[in-house]
Structure 1
Amino acid sequence: MHPFDVETLPVGRWRNGGGATREVVARPAGAEGFGWRASIADIAAAGPFSAFPGVDRVLTLLAGDGVRLTSPGAFDRLLHRTGEPFAFSGDLALDAALPGGPCRVLNIMVRRGGWAARVERPTGPVAPPAGHAGLLYVLRGRWRAGAGGAVLTPGQGVWWDGVAGAGAGDAPGAGSLVPLSPDAVALWADVAPVG
C-alpha cells in the first residue's frame, strides 16, 4: 500500500484557470495513457470540464458546498453531499457551476473495457479484493492501513495496484483497512479489472 497526503501532492493548475488537480496515482506508471487514475481537484470557478473519450468517471465531493454538473441531454446533477459518488461517461461534454463557492472533489477515471470503478463510503473495515486496484481516502476519524501500517487522518489515504505481477509492496494483502475511531468515515474506490 502506498500512503499519500493531499497537502503534499504536486499541484497542476488547469489551463482555463478554473482550478487545480493533485494527482494521487496513474497506472500503469509512465504509460502513454492511463488504465486508471485517481486525483483530487480543487474547483475554483465555473466552467467546462475536459472530455476524456473512452473513459468512465466517478466524481465525489470532498469539501465545499457542492458542484452542479450539466451535460445537455444527459444529466443535470448537483453534488452537494460530502462522500456521495456520481458516475458518468468521460465522453460527455459538461459544464460545472459552483452555487456555494469553491469545492474539492475526488476524481476516479478508468479506461472503459479495461477497468471498472465503484466508490463507496465505508465506516467499517475494508478488505480490497485480490487482483483489484484502488484507493482509500479518509474523510473523518482515524484509520489504519493494514496490519501494523500507518495511521491515516482526514486528507490522507493509501492506494494499491492490483496488476498481476506487481511487486509485494503494491499488493493490499497486508490486511484490511480498519477504522480506529468511532467517527471514522472514508471513501473507498474499488478499481476492478474487466474480463
Structure 2
Amino acid sequence: MPIHLFERAQLRASPWKNGGGVTREIACHPPQAGMQNFDWRISIAHIGSDGDFSVFAGVDRVITLLEGGGVQLSSADGSTDDSVLHALDTPLQPFAFSGDAAVHGRLLNGGCHDFNVMTRRGVCQAEVRVLRRHETLLPASAGLLMAIRGTWQVQADGTDAANGQQHTLGAQTGLWWHDDMLACQCQCADSAPDAALLAVRFTPTPR
C-alpha cells in the first residue's frame, strides 16, 4: 500500500451538527468507513464554542492541542471524577480518554485546534507521541506522521511499495499509511529550536 501525503491547508472541512466546530478528516480505516464502523480515524478539529463531545461507545480517544487557548474537559453530568477531568491547555501534550465518557468541553481562551485519534476498542490501539529531533519508529501496519514545526526527513522502510521511500515534510504537512508494516526514521532537517513532529502508530489489540 503506497504512502499517502497530505497538507493540512487542503483538508476538507465538515461543520459539526451542533454548530460548535469544524472537523477536517485526515484518514480513516477501512477507507470510506463511517462514524459507526471505522477501525481507526485521525482528524483535526476547530472548537469554536463550549459544548458536549460526541459519545463513541467502544472507542478510545487521544486528543492533542495544536493551537489556541485550549479546552477544559469535564464530565457532562457535572461530576469531578479525575478520570474524566482534564485541562487541555498545553500544546503538543497528548491526552487519552474513553469515547464512552460523556464529556463537556469549555473553551479556556477563545477557539482552539485539536488533533484527534480514535481507535475501535478490541480491534486496534494507538500510540501518539511528539518527536523533537531524531528517532526511529518501530514497525507498525498503519500510522501517520505530521510535521508541526520545522522540516523533517522521513525514511520509510517496509515490505511493500513503500520500502525505501524518502519524504520531506514541511510544517503542517504529513503522510499516512496502512496495510504495510513500516518502520520510519525521522530526523529534523533544520535547526528550528521548537521542531515538533506528531507520530501515530496503530497496532492490533492483543488477543
| TM-score higher than 0.5 | yes
Deviations 1:116-171 (A, max 9, x none): 1121111133433334311112121101232663322221111121x3xx5xxxx5
**Deviation of the 1:91 alpha carbon:** 0.3
Partner of 1:23: 25
Partner of 1:35: 39
Partner of 1:172: 182
User: Residues of 2 paired with 1:31 and 1:11: CA distance?
Assistant: 17
Deviations 1:14-46 (A, max 9, x none): 000000000000001134511111000011111
> 1:113 aligned to 2:122?
yes
What is the percent sequence identity of the aligned residues? 37
User: Residues of 1 paired with 2:33 and 2:198: CA distance?
Assistant: 26
AA in 2 matched with 1:117: A
Question: SS of 2:57's equivalent?
Answer: coil
Unaligned runs of 5+ in 2: 156-163
User: Residues of 1 paired with 2:110 and 2:44: CA distance?
Assistant: 17
Partner of 2:109: 100
Normalized per residue, the structure richer in strand is 2
Give me the TM-score of the superposition, normalised by structure 1. 0.88
AA in 2 matched with 1:172: L
Q: Which stretch shifts more, 136-145 or 61-70?
A: 136-145
User: Residues of 1 paired with 2:87 and 2:137: CA distance?
Assistant: 30
**Deviation of the 1:187 alpha carbon:** 1.2
Q: CA RMSD in A?
A: 1.7
Instruction: Answer yes or no: is the 8 Å Cα contact 2:94–2:129 preserved in 1.
Output: yes
Unaligned runs of 5+ in 1: none
Instruction: Answer yes or no: is the 8 Å Cα contact 2:21–2:45 preserved in 1.
Output: yes
User: Residues of 2 paired with 1:11 and 1:78: CA distance?
Assistant: 26
Q: 1:130 to 1:97 in 2, by over 3 A?
A: same
Give me the TM-score of the superposition, normalised by structure 2. 0.84
AA in 2 matched with 1:34: F
